[in-house]
Chains A and B, each alone.
Chain A
Amino acid sequence: MLSFWVAPEDADQGISQRIFYFHVPIALTAYACFGWGAWKALRLLWTREERYDLESYVAVHQGTIFGALTLATGSIWAKASWGHWWVWDSNQLVLFLVLFLFYSAYFMLRFSIEEGPRRANVSAVYALFGVALIPVSFFAIRLAEDFIHPTTFTREGPQMTGTMFFAFCVSWLAISLVAYTLYRVELLGKRLDGNLRELREALSGVGLTEPPGAQVPALPGPERGS
């Protein structure tokens, strides 16, 4: 929000320049989330502690959401600045498209494997591949410029004056904090979920009947529980 009031308009792009102030921080935050997810993945493989799986997953989840936002805001900016909803020239946008495809596949992979250590390991390895892909893709896209088409647009980062830079940093900080908060909240929620499930199994697995108000009562049949 600060960027809207404090930052002076950029001379050549005018008001649409404002989008830059949160588009780029969102992109940077997405990278950070993917990196964080990969770090947690590494820790999982290293220590085999189960909690890292959830932390890695939530981080990748956040990264994907921010990645999608990057694509959305980038697309809007492209339309505002150059009149097209998509520009292959924007390396960052293309990179995010590739990453978005990659991490979307992460979820497809994760949800098609039974819960357990195997799923955790596979997800972790995939997350590591993701961060390796980031620089490699970046170079690939740069190299591809040669024969895709020549870049006629200048780079996205405009020259920033002092106040603009300040506003940018504030925006970046704000978005990073939002991402971190959402990460903690999501993690908390999922852990709570897991704990509750365990509690429920523990409590109801000792021959008790169905919890009140839940599903249709089952047949008054054989003993449940181990």
Chain B
Amino acid sequence: MSYFADVAALARKDLRLELRARDTLPAMLLFVLSTLVVFHFALPTGADEVAAQGLLWVALVFTALLGLARAWAPEREGGALEGLVLAPSDRSAIWLGKTAAVFVFLVLIELVALPAFAVFFSPIQAEGVVGVLLANIGICAVGTLLAAMAAASRTRELILPLLFLPLAIPLVVGGVGASVSTDPGRYLLFLGLYDAVFAILCWASFEYVVSE
């Protein structure tokens, strides 16, 4: 199963890099906390508790964007992406490894952000947390691929949000629905569907995004 060995190696490399550099994670952490505070001031009094749940998702999506913008930075700066692409391993493994690493980053952030949200605003049910995890998969899968596309473009970080947000809308719907609806199962199922469809699409098309 050398494919998964490759994936694991790539993911581990990214985690180790971040552990050493410690630039992206703290920034994302601070960003999400600051955003939550801004939301407190942005919500007028008497605003729904439900509205606050929605804002959590806004915070998560934009924090993820922040992290995704830097996702391919190590490869870009070192010129390593070309090297990886030429390597004998399946190119989709590069995507999978990177996605896994970004997923871990996001979960680490959420370990702080979700409790913070619960303390600042309102508690989150179990379904909400499951929703967050499922949506994470979608965010990381699609985001990593789009970030690779953005890396090929002149405008880089500028274009990533434009590419990402329309695709993130269904995730937000699923996530918010899982948190506030009386029937969260439907939304969780939908999130799973999104993940399945787009993960497969990303996995299959990544090699075209990075090659000539």
A: residues with CB less than 8 A from B are 45, 98-99, 101-102, 104-105, 108-109, 112-114, 116-119, 121-122, 124-126, 128-129, 132-133, 136-137, 139-141, 143-144, 146-147
A147 lies within 8 A of B176 (CB) = yes
Q: Is the C-beta of B105 less than 8 angstroms from some C-beta in chain A?
A: no
Q: Smallest CB-CB separation from B50: which chain A residue?
A: A147
Known: A118-B212, A128-B205, A143-B187. A109 touches B173 (CB 8 A): no
A–B complex contacts, Cβ < 8 Å, 9 sampled:
A45-B205, A104-B162, A112-B159, A113-B152, A126-B149, A129-B167, A132-B197, A136-B198, A144-B173
CB distance from A106 to the nearest CB of B (A): 9
Q: Compute how far the CA of A122 lies from the CA of B205 in the bound complex, rounded to whole angstroms.
A: 9
Of all chain A residues, which has the CB nearest B53? Answer: A147
Which B residues fall within an 8 A CB radius of A? 50, 142, 145, 149-150, 152-155, 159, 162-163, 165-167, 169-170, 173-174, 176-177, 180-181, 186-187, 190, 193-194, 197-198, 201, 205, 208-209, 211-212
CB-defined contacts of B165 to chain A, threshold 8 Å: 101
Partner among B153, B174, B180, B193 whose Cβ is within 8 Å of the Cβ of A113: B153
For the complex, give the distance between the alpha carbons of A121 and B198 in Å. Answer: 18
Shortest distance in angstroms between B120's beta carbon and chain A's nearest beta carbon?
21
Are A132 and B190 in contact, CB atoms less than 8 angstroms apart?
no
- Give the docked Cα–Cα distance between A147 and B173 (Å): 9
Contact partner of A143 (CB less than 8 A), chosen from B145, B166, B190, is B190
Contacts of A140 in B (CB 8 A): 169-170, 173-174, 190, 194
Q: Is the CB of B153 within 8 A of A147?
A: no
Bound complex: CA A121 to CA B207 (Å):
10
On whether A105 and B162 interact (CB within 8 A), knowing A136-B170, A147-B50, the answer reads yes
A116–B212 Cα distance when bound, in Å, is 8
A120 → chain B, closest Cβ, in Å?
Answer: 9
Bound CA–CA A140/B211 (angstroms): 32
Chain B neighbourhood of A121, CB < 8 A = 208-209, 211-212
Once the chains bind, are A112 and B176 in contact (CB under 8 Å)? no
**B72 CB to closest chain A CB, in angstroms?**
14
- Whether B170 and A45, one on each chain, are in contact in the complex, defined by CB atoms closer than 8 angstroms, is no
- Please give, as numbers and ranges, the residues of chain B lying within 8 Å of A124 by CB-CB distance: 208
User: Considering the chains assembled together, what is the distance between the CA atoms of A137 and B212 in angstroms?
Assistant: 30
A128 CA / B198 CA spacing, docked (Å)? 11
Q: Are B170 and A137 in contact, with the CB atoms below 8 A?
A: yes
Nearest residue (CB) in B for A106 is: B163
Please judge, given known A-B contacts A112-B154, A143-B173, whether A102 and B212 are in contact too, CB under 8 Å: no
A109 in contact with B159 given A102-B167, A143-B190 (CB within 8 Å)? yes
| B159 and A129 contacting across the interface, CB-CB below 8 Å | no
| Max count, chain A CB within 10 A of own CB: residue among B145, B180, B194 | B194
Which residues of B are found within 8 Å of A101, using beta-carbon distances? 162, 165-166
A138 to chain B: closest residue by CB:
B170
Minimum distance in angstroms from A8 CB to a CB of chain B: 39
